[in-house]
A and B are shown apart, each in its own frame.
Chain A
Amino acid sequence: MTGALIDLSFAAFSLVAIVAGVRVFRTDSMVRAAFYLLASFAATGGIMVLLGAEFLGMVLILMMAGEMLVMAIVMVMYMMNPAGLNPMVMVHQPRTAVVAGVIAFLAIAGVGLSGEVPSRPAPDPAAATAELGRELLGNSMLVFQTAGVTLLATMVGAIAIAAPRGRHGDAAEGSEEPGLQPDEEASA
């Protein structure tokens, strides 16, 4: 891609990331907020691809699709709002949040502007992906395998708790309505 096209793409992705990020808090529905967050992440993934981290950027986009859907469903599940379409306010303690957000933004912007920007040309995407693979299965293998096994154990545990045939017996047990005739039920 030529320089101008890269600049234009960067501007477009940044705009989408920021506008969608703001909309996460300004919208009135859990599901919409999740989808705006997804758009923001997808645009950030696009910027990572522009930066030469093609694999990481695409994997970010790939993973976020499932994660945001699960997040939306779980959030709706805990609300008295079956479809997530009833209007609701998406922020708590708005004043505190605004102050904290502005301070965090200034701090990050300050670090970004005052710090030295490294100038290391990125290797071509295939080489960058190969380097990442060597890192994951080389020096960082122990860290990633530990995290991976922990997550796997968590998933097995979650399924064991949620499965219909859990360690406390069949989930449907005792959930049937009592019969119309109490005597019949007792004799049965």
Chain B
Amino acid sequence: MSPLLEVIAAAAAVAGLLAVGALALAIGDGVAGAVVAGRPIRVLPLLTAPVARAMLAARTGSTTTERPDGAGRAVAPALLAGLAALAMVLLPLGPGVALADPDTGFVVYSAAVAFVMIAVFLHGWSPNSTLPLHGAYRFGAVALSFQIPFLLAMLATALPAQSLSIVRIVEAQAGLWNVVREPLGLPIYLVVGLAVGFWGPLNLPDGDDLAGGTSAEDAGWARWLWQVARLSMLVAVAALGAAAFLGGYFGPILPGPLWVALKTGLLLAVMAGAQHLLARVRIERFVGVAWVLLVPLALLNVFVSGAFLL
């Protein structure tokens, strides 16, 4: 196969994985909402709701604001979706099988997560409007707070692998999954994951209390694109979390890629549940908890993981 064809095939594979994941999360979110609220689960409306939203978005006109930053408004959703794709490229689907396996995969994934703050800030700053700007500043505070717990939680998974490659991090879990070896890692990662995808209790930049926050001025397909990019980012975070903590493709009987999908689905289900079971956290409380509680816990996690290796 020529290199160009390979690139196109890889891009299509990543886009397909993200689209399936985002659709599953949108449907799962609807199911979780129905379960929590005690409503009957009506299958057909729940399945068609994402399609209906897309069709509504396509028929709704777009809006503009006074003196917006046009480039920023256009780039932000593309950047967020691109970061999700960048993280997805690193996902190991089987022994040694990943679209890309750089030696510094861990750093590449961390850079993708760090750039989410740029995408969200740009999205909130560029409309030149009050509520989106509030959302952007909020996410600045949230993102700077979750950065260090995220890096430390992921770093602990690189210790047993003695490598920064995501493929090697999964391989090192052949005997024991990191969720057992480092029980603190996954909870910290999940909290951070909710913040990365600004979802559920940590939906601070786009929260309803800001009338949609950074997306308050978005309408039509622009709003839809941003939501899809956000769901894609959550899918990528869940998939990489399943790889780093839940042993990725390891599992009995079923083939490896199916285990990856099941474990990713499990983490997505936890996130969908959090959306409906937990109240939104105030930003001061989250920033305080991140620095005072999550950073020391993540450090402890690294020390314990290191001690096991001695």
With A35-B118, A65-B115, A83-B125: A55-B164 Cβ-Cβ less than 8 Å: yes
CB pair B103 A62 closer than 8 Å: no
Interface centre among B104, B122, B165, by most A CB within 10 Å? B104
CB pair A62 B107 closer than 8 Å: yes
Measured CB to CB, the residues of A under 8 A from B are 2, 5, 29, 31-32, 35, 38, 54-55, 58-59, 61-63, 65-66, 68-70, 72-73, 82-85, 124-126, 129
CB-CB nearest in chain B for A60 = B111
Interface centre among A5, A35, A54, A65, by most B CB within 10 Å? A65
Chain-A contact segment, one of B137-145, B261-269, B302-310? B137-145
Whether B227 is near chain A, meaning CB under 8 Å from some CB there, is no
* Min CB gap B123→A, angstroms: 12
- The total of Cβ contacts below 8 Å across the A-B interface reads 69
26 pairs of residues in contact across A and B, judged by CB atoms under 8 Å:
A29-B69, A31-B125, A32-B69, A32-B72, A35-B118, A54-B103, A54-B104, A55-B164, A58-B111, A62-B110, A63-B114, A65-B114, A66-B143, A66-B147, A69-B140, A69-B144, A73-B140, A82-B133, A83-B128, A84-B125, A85-B67, A85-B125, A85-B128, A125-B104, A129-B103, A129-B164
CB pair B104 A70 closer than 8 Å: no
CB pair A69 B121 closer than 8 Å: yes
Beyond A62-B114, A65-B117, A85-B67: 4 further Cβ-contacts under 8 Å? A2-B3, A69-B140, A70-B144, A83-B133
Out of A2, A61, A126, name the residue touching B111 (CB < 8 Å): A61
Q: In the docked arrangement, what's the CA distance between A46 and B43, Å?
A: 47
Q: In the docked arrangement, what's the CA distance between A65 and B122, Å?
A: 12
Interface centre among B3, B67, B72, B114, by most A CB within 10 Å? B114
* Min CB gap A155→B, angstroms: 11
Residues on the B chain within 8 Å of A31, using CB: 125
Q: In the docked arrangement, what's the CA distance between A83 and B65, Å?
A: 14
Q: In the docked arrangement, what's the CA distance between A84 and B110, Å?
A: 28
Residues on the B chain within 8 Å of A58, using CB: 104, 107-108, 111
Residues on the B chain within 8 Å of A69, using CB: 117-118, 121, 140, 143-144
Chain B, range 110-154, C-beta contacts under 8 Å to A: 110-111, 114-115, 117-118, 121-122, 125, 128, 133, 137, 140, 143-144, 147
Cβ-closest 3 pairs across A and B? A65-B114, A62-B111, A58-B107
CB-CB nearest in chain A for B66 = A85
Chain B, range 69-125, C-beta contacts under 8 Å to A: 69, 72, 102-104, 107-108, 110-111, 114-115, 117-118, 121-122, 125
Residues on the A chain within 8 Å of B102, using CB: 54, 125
CB pair B104 A55 closer than 8 Å: yes
CB-CB nearest in chain B for A164 = B284
CB-CB nearest in chain A for B106 = A58
CB pair B137 A73 closer than 8 Å: yes
CB pair A126 B103 closer than 8 Å: yes
CB-CB nearest in chain A for B117 = A69
CB pair A125 B103 closer than 8 Å: yes
Q: In the docked arrangement, what's the CA distance between A65 and B139, Å?
A: 13
CB pair B164 A66 closer than 8 Å: no
Q: In the docked arrangement, what's the CA distance between A68 and B128, Å?
A: 19
Residues on the A chain within 8 Å of B122, using CB: 35
